[in-house]
Amino acid sequence: MSVLDDLAGGLVVSCQPLPDDPDDPMRDPYVQARVAAAVVRGGAVAVRANGPADVRAIRAAVDVPLIGLYKHGAADVFITPTAEHAVEVALAGAAIVAVDATDRPRPDGRTFADTVRALREQTGALVLADVSTLAEGVAAVEAGADAVATTLSGYTAASADAERPDLALVAALAAGVPVPVFAEGRYRDGEQVGRAFAAGAHAVVVGNALTSPLWLTRRLVSALRPGPGNR
């Protein structure tokens, strides 16, 4: 039995500050650990978290498996861009490490397969490949990924026109790769989560719609403002 089996049919909650706002007041490991404790109390089967400090704090606060990632740098590939980032977040307490597995150049010039190999040599963590297309998912599994996630659909040139959330990619991956598929990215309500499971998702990851007061408030405030379509 792998830790992935424990997540089948479950809701994973991503507990992270907003990446595009360095002054998000939620950017604090203690705060993220309390958010994680709340979502686990509410029924989350796993928590996704960014960076060794948050992963360590959350690891101490909850008993569920952690999906760790390490956002770093300003290059296109910024979700766990190197093997060193992957190892660091695994050693902080992530049972599963999420790594960008898109076909874009990586900042260290190595391949996704190199990163998977290094992580395996140094830790017991599993690898969740964050992809934006079916082809990237197939390549990631060939390179050794234990699971794939639709996290980066809508964030790459190749997926700019994809639906949001990308249920078609969930269905294509579920039919096209022999590993668990995580539906992630822009899931906002229970109806969308249900559709992801119906499309073949192993688990569904929800972030901002559950864990970011900043994102939620900005969204509501901008909907209240008079403007085209809002009158």
Ligand X SMILES: CC(=O)N[C@H](C=O)[C@@H](O)[C@H](O)[C@H](O)COP(=O)(O)O
Q: Which is nearer to ligand X, 47 or 134 (CB)?
A: 47
State yes or no: residue 186 binds ligand X (CB under 6 A). yes
State yes or no: residue 206 binds ligand X (CB under 6 A). yes
State yes or no: residue 69 binds ligand X (CB under 6 A). yes
Q: Report the C-alpha gap between 66 and 46 in whole angstroms.
A: 6
* The only residue of 47, 57, 86, 155 in contact with ligand X, by rule CB under 6 A: 155
Contacts by 31-38, CB closer than 8 A, 24 or more apart: 32/57, 32/58, 33/57, 33/58, 33/60, 33/61, 33/62, 34/61, 35/211, 36/61, 36/62, 37/61, 37/62
CB of 152 to ligand X, least distance (A): 6
CB atoms within 10 A of CB 75: 13
Q: By rule CB under 6 A, what count of residues binds ligand X?
A: 17
Q: Report the C-alpha gap between 129 and 115 in whole angstroms.
A: 11
Query: Tokens 């297309």, residue?
Result: 133
Antiparallel, parallel or unpaired: β 46-50 and 203-206: unpaired
CB of 48 to ligand X, least distance (A): 6
State yes or no: residue 73 binds ligand X (CB under 6 A). no
* The only residue of 2, 8, 9, 19 in contact with ligand X, by rule CB under 6 A: 19
State yes or no: residue 32 binds ligand X (CB under 6 A). no
Interface region with ligand X, contact rule CB under 6 A, candidates 106-114, 121-129, 132-140, 147-155? 147-155
Q: Which is nearer to ligand X, 8 or 216 (CB)?
A: 216
